[in-house]
Amino acid sequence: MNALSVKQLGEKIKAMAQKKFTKNQKVFLAGFFGFLGLVLVIGLGVGVYRVYAKTKTDRFTMAVASVLRLPIAKVNGVPVLYTDYMDDLRAITVMRDYDKANNGQAASLTDEKLSDQVLFRQVNNILINALARKNNVTVEAKDIEKVKTNVLEKEFQSLAAAEKAIRDRYGWSLTVFEKKVIVPFVLQGKLTEKIKNDSANKEQLKARAQKVLDEIKGGGDFATLAQKYGEDGTSQRGGDLGWFAKGEMVPEFESVAFALKKGELSPNLVETRYGFHILQVEDTKTEKSKDAKGKSITKASVKARHILFMFPALDRLLSDNLKNATINVYGKVHNPFADLLKTPNK
C-alpha cells in the first residue's frame, strides 16, 4: 500500500467517523429538544390547570397566563385577560382592606362581590371601547392631563399626594391608575357627550316617532302601538300616564297637554329633554280646592297617555348591548352574568 492510498484511507475513516458523529449529534439534539418541548408542554399545561382549576396567582401561573394570554372571560369574542382580572382583583382587595381600617363603604364586600365588580367593570370597558370605536371617540393626552389637574390636584393639593393616596387605597402607581381608571373615565365622558349631541341620531329618532304618529293618525290603536314602541315604564300599560295637574310634568309636555281637548291627539311630536313624545289627552276635569292660605281655587287636571321615543344615552346603549352580548366566564370564577344573560360558565 503506497503513501497516497494510506492517506486516502485515513480521510475515508475520518469522514465516516464525522458522519457517525453528526448522525449521533442530530439524534441527541432531536431527543434533547424533544425533551425540552415535552417539559414546556407539561409546564404550560400545569399553568393552564392552575389558572382555570385553582385560580392561582403565584409567579409561575401568572407567567403562563401572560405568555398564553389566557382569558378569564370573553365578551363577543373579546378576551378579558386573566392577568388583568387578577391585577384589578388584587387592587380592589387592597381597597376593601383599606376601608376595613377606615370604616369605608367597601369594608363588608365579600370575595365573590369583589370578583363580580371586577368582571362587570372589565366587561363594561370592552362594551364602551366598542361604542367609542363606532362613534370615532378617542382619548388624547390633554384629556388625561385635564383630569389630573382639575380632579387629582384639587382634591389632593398635588400629584405626589394623589399618588400616595392611590397607592394606599389600591396599591397602584399613578401611571397604572391613569391607564386603568382615568382613561376609561375620560372615554366614557366623551362618549356620553358624543351620543347626546349627535344630530344624526336625533333626526333618526324623530323620523321613527313621526312614522308611528302617522300610523295613529291613520287609525292605528294608540295603546297597542305604545306597548310596541314605548321606551319608558308606561309602555306596558299602553302609555297611560293617569291624571296630572299643572306643575307635575316638564313644561314642554305640560303646555301641549293642557292645550288639547278631551280625546284629542297632538298633531305634532312633543320634544322634551327625555325625547320625542306622541301625546293624547283622554279626559280633562276641573276641581275646586283650597290653597295653603285657605283661598278657594280651581284646579285643572288632564288624563293622558303617551309614547316616548327616548334620546340615545350611554347607559341605555350599554344596557342594551350587555343584554345582547355573548359573555362566557371560564374557570372557577363566579359568573355575575349567568342570571342576567343566561350564559353559563364554560
Task: State pLDDT tens for residues 245-270.
Answer: 999 999 999 999 999 999 999 999 99
Q: Of 44, 68, 92, which one is at a domain's C-terminal end?
A: 68
Cα first-last separation, the chain: 79
CB 164 within 8 A of CB 173: no
Within this chain, do residues 113 and 171 fall inside the same structural domain, yes or no? yes
- Whether pLDDT at 20 is above 60: no
Q: Of 68, 95, 118, which one is at a domain's C-terminal end?
A: 68
Residue 55 belongs to some domain of the structure: yes
- Whether pLDDT at 16 is above 80: no
Within this chain, do residues 171 and 115 fall inside the same structural domain, yes or no? yes
Within this chain, do residues 76 and 49 fall inside the same structural domain, yes or no? no
CB 229 within 8 A of CB 211: no
Within this chain, do residues 183 and 133 fall inside the same structural domain, yes or no? yes
Within this chain, do residues 152 and 187 fall inside the same structural domain, yes or no? yes
pLDDT of residue 49: 77
Most confident of 8-22, 53-67, 117-131: 117-131
Within this chain, do residues 194 and 101 fall inside the same structural domain, yes or no? yes
Residue 1 belongs to some domain of the structure: no
Least confident of 37-51, 135-149, 185-199, 254-268: 37-51
- Whether pLDDT at 176 is above 50: yes
Within this chain, do residues 128 and 242 fall inside the same structural domain, yes or no? no
In angstroms, the CA 162 to CA 159 distance is 5
In angstroms, the CA 210 to CA 277 distance is 10
Residue 316 belongs to some domain of the structure: no
Q: Which structural domain, as residue segments, surrounds residue 164?
A: 70-198+321-341
Residue 174 belongs to some domain of the structure: yes
Residue 6 belongs to some domain of the structure: no
Within this chain, do residues 124 and 43 fall inside the same structural domain, yes or no? no
Whole-number average pLDDT of the chain? 86
Within this chain, do residues 193 and 96 fall inside the same structural domain, yes or no? yes
Residue 298: band (very low, low, confident or very high) from pLDDT cuts 50, 70, 90: confident
pLDDT of residue 120: 95
CB 306 within 8 A of CB 271: no
Within this chain, do residues 106 and 121 fall inside the same structural domain, yes or no? yes
Within this chain, do residues 46 and 187 fall inside the same structural domain, yes or no? no
Residue 8 belongs to some domain of the structure: no
* More confidently predicted of 10 and 66: 66
- Whether pLDDT at 32 is above 50: no
- Whether pLDDT at 227 is above 90: yes
pLDDT of residue 14: 54
Residue 182 belongs to some domain of the structure: yes
Within this chain, do residues 82 and 37 fall inside the same structural domain, yes or no? no
Residue 70: band (very low, low, confident or very high) from pLDDT cuts 50, 70, 90: very high
CB 302 within 8 A of CB 257: yes
* pLDDT tens figures, 206-226: 999 999 999 999 999 999 999
pLDDT of residue 88: 95
How many structural domains is the chain composed of?
A: 3
Cell triple for 180: 386603568
